[in-house]
Amino acid sequence: MTEKTTLSRRALVAGSAMLAAGPAFAATATGPTPIARLWAEAQGLASQLSAHRGAITAAATRTGASTPGWMRLGGEANAIAEQRYGKLVAILQETPKNQGDLAIIAKVSQDSDIQMGARLWASEKLAAATLALSA
């Protein structure tokens, strides 16, 4: 009997994000860039948050689409999600060192939590990062 494994859409997206971030991890002689480190930490927190996905979805459904569901929760789910959000904001505040960093900033600017809140600011940060890297 063989074991069948299926990939979820979430796993595929996370894998794609890690592949896109790969150049940022290998691009500097001193190790990963600050953006790459923050991205890895945010991805780790997202993995921890998946255990609370049902509660987050239920909270979002009750409160409408104006704020992420985790903002309406307390306890561990809120703490993890808040840490993750802080990492995403920190990424947007960093200056990219390479194309991998820019790819990460682009992904962060499209993150659903960012889109529900600091969407315009994130777009401005992405534009500034693009210009900074091209200079």
Secondary structure (DSSP) of 88-107: HHHHHHSPP-SHHHHHHHHH
Mean pLDDT of 83-108: 95
To which H or E segment does residue 21 belong? Answer: helix 9-26
pLDDT of residue 78: 87
- Helix residue ranges, H only, 6-74: 9-26, 34-49, 53-63
pLDDT of residue 12: 41
Cα–chain center distance at 88: 6
Which tokens is 20 given? 């896109």
pLDDT at 117 exceeding the cut of 90: no
How many residues are listed for the chain in this entry? 135
pLDDT at 115 exceeding the cut of 80: yes
pLDDT at 14 exceeding the cut of 80: no
Mean pLDDT of 30-40: 92
Overall pTM surpassing 0.75 (yes/no): no
In whole angstroms, how large is the CA radius of gyration of the chain? 16
Mean pLDDT of 107-116: 91
- Phi-psi group of 99: left, alpha or beta (phi > 0 → left; psi -120 to 50 → alpha; rest → beta): alpha
Mean pLDDT of 17-39: 67
Mean pLDDT of 95-110: 95
Question: Would you call 69 exposed, middle or buried from its count of C-beta atoms within 10 A (0-12, 13-18, 19+)?
Answer: buried
96 neighbors 44 (Cβ within 8 angstroms) = no
